A and B are shown apart, each in its own frame.
Chain A
Amino acid sequence: MCHYPARFAVRVDTDRKARLFVAKINSGAKAFTALQIYLPIAEISVNLFFLMGMGGAVGFLSGLFGVGGGFLLTPLLIFTGIPAPVAVASVTGQVTAASTSGAWSYWRRAGIDLHLALYLVLAGILGAFGGVMAFSALRAVGQLDLVISISYLVFLGLVGTLMLNEAVRSLLKRRAGVISRDKLPGKHNWIHGLPMRVRFKRSNLYVSVLPVLAIGAAIGFLGALLGIGGGFILVPALIYLLRVPGNVVIGTSLVQVLAIMAASTVLHAVNSQSVDILLAFCLMVGGVIGAQFGASAGQYLRGDQLRALLGLLVLLVAIRFAFSLLVTPEDPFSTAILGIGEDVQ
């Protein structure tokens, strides 16, 4: 007769272990500082310093590499028990702040090509609209999860491998005593032969606007579809396709990320009402501090070293992601609150 305890037998899975571990860190920090903060939209209580520390660590990377860091922060937040839609939406706010801070620091060093950024942002906004439409279309045919997962894997894997490969080669050359210029070899490729050329003074470029607009639109499209700022794709695209010099590439990329993420924050707030301003603010405070240190640290590293590190980071995330897709999950079941406007076919 007594059958319910058996049915309740707790199946401990890795995810739960990780959550317990985070909870343990959380409670350890709690004993240390006793500063819990209740997040009104996430409806959960989290340690303030834990949040700010996490924001700070990711902000450091964002300042160092000129990427938003959303692709690292979102999974971390979900791990700590914050509902996924709230994590995704609130991180857009944090990325907006971190990229503002980073962009400001590059602006003072004349590290932004505003002319180029303007083209990228305008095309990016158009691309974002396309991304939102593709999102709805894919959801309607029930293939959204598959497309998002595969795209993540392909982009992270491809970008990571390409960057790491190029950067390691460059590092080896330097070690071999070859003096390499800051500009990449083969400054002109087929892209530079396209019509409608525009002069970008700060970047010392005279290229067609077509590839610039195409890159901007593609990043906007992917950003809206995959929920990422796209910095980790934009930086290599600007370097390898357009040959934008290293001293303005990160600052310019940050401006694009800032614009796209600011727009996403508003869209998330309106569509899903899942932006937790308190959560975003705690992450921001940590993030802007981290981003300043990251931007300063970036000056002590050479371009190829930075690219090698970012390539490695992106590749690691890709591997982690591939792992979760390919390895049989310990618990195939999961549950979540049905969000506003969300429905199940």
Chain B
Amino acid sequence: MRWLRTCLVALLTLGVTAPVGAERLVSVVSDKVVSIDSTFSGETMTLFGNIEPDLDSGDHYVEGPFDVIVVIQGPAQDRVTRRKTRQLGVWLNTEQLAFKSIPSFFWVLASDELTDIASDELLTMEGILPETRPQLTVVQGSGDPQTFGTELVRLMTEAGLYGVDPRGVHFQSDTLYSAQVALPADVPNGNFLARTYLFKNGEIASMRAEGFSVRKTGFEQFLNLSARQYPWAYGFACVIVAIFTGWLGGVVFRR
């Protein structure tokens, strides 16, 4: 549902801000579903597309130069950011601020430095800059939202979950581009949204949104569902497995 909402918001903003240009984007994601099995250790996604003349404009070719920004956004999650302060001589987490529905993954791939592609105002308005994400969510708790938001983005960047790659989009020809994003082994599960922006002269000429999902399959999915839907049975199963393993170890290694 959240993903749908994000999609709707993206489409609405598109309607408001994107001028009807003479270009249109045709884009493809290499995998619609990234399956996680027991041997999953990250995957590289390729997004590619072509810039074509808009059918309504009657043009037969497009004229550049173009810039492309691809924003890959993971499923929303609630996160808490904590700050340690000294209290009674010891360092403890005293201030904490919860950010509701913040993207669990946010990578911006671009064909150039973002500041060379468009103005900060436009990038902020479109929600392209990672550091503007915390400002877009509801907060709860004690602590200054501005400071905690900046720190949250820094921590997520250090963890490799947020980032900007100004060399992430390559032009194979004047109109054909490709972008690669490495999904880490600890990639959040759920629905992802890839927004592709086509910039021309610092303005958005066109925009496309593509969805893909990361989900567990087979045994991994079975375990995850059991833990969520039958927590009592799952808990007892864990204890039985533990006691059996312990006992078996005792029998096997009898000396």
Contact = CB atoms under 8 A, between A and B. Distances in A.
Nearest to B157: A8
Nearest to A5: B164
Contact of A93 (B93, B96, B242, B253): B242
A40 B186 CA distance: 10
B80 A2 contact: no
Interface in B96-137: 96-98, 104, 113-115, 120, 129-131
Given A101-B247, A265-B239, A333 B81 contact: yes
Contact of A7 (B41, B80, B131): B131
B245 interface: yes
Contact of A37 (B39, B86, B239): B39
B143 to A, nearest CB: 9
A93 to B, nearest CB: 5
B12 interface: no
B91 A329 contact: yes
Q: Helix, strand, loop or mixed for chain A's interface?
A: helix
Interface residues of A, number: 71
A288 B248 contact: yes
Nearest to B93: A145
Contact of A45 (B156, B185, B239): B185
Interface residues of B, number: 84
Contact of B158 (A16, A81, A146): A16
Nearest to B229: A273
Interface string A327-343: 11100111111100011
B246 A284 contact: yes
Interface in B18-55: 36-42
Residue among B36, B81, B249 facing the most chain A CB atoms (10 A cut-off): B249
Contacts of B152: 335
Interface stretch (A161-169, A170-178, A231-239, A274-282): A274-282
Contact of A101 (B115, B140, B227, B246): B246
A255 to B, nearest CB: 12
Interface string A36-67: 11101101110000000000000000000000
Interface string B70-97: 0000000111111111111111111011
A335 to B, nearest CB: 5
A100 B250 contact: yes
A337 B103 CA distance: 11
B189 interface: yes
Given A4-B131, A38-B40, A333-B155, A285 B98 contact: no
B170 to A, nearest CB: 21
Contacts of B242: 93-94, 96-97, 100, 262, 265, 280, 284
Interface of B: 36-42, 77-94, 96-98, 104, 113-115, 120, 129-131, 140-142, 148, 150-158, 163-164, 185-189, 216, 220-221, 223-224, 227-228, 231-232, 234-239, 241-243, 245-251, 253-255
11 contacts: A38-B39, A98-B246, A262-B242, A268-B235, A273-B227, A326-B91, A328-B86, A328-B91, A329-B91, A333-B155, A335-B80
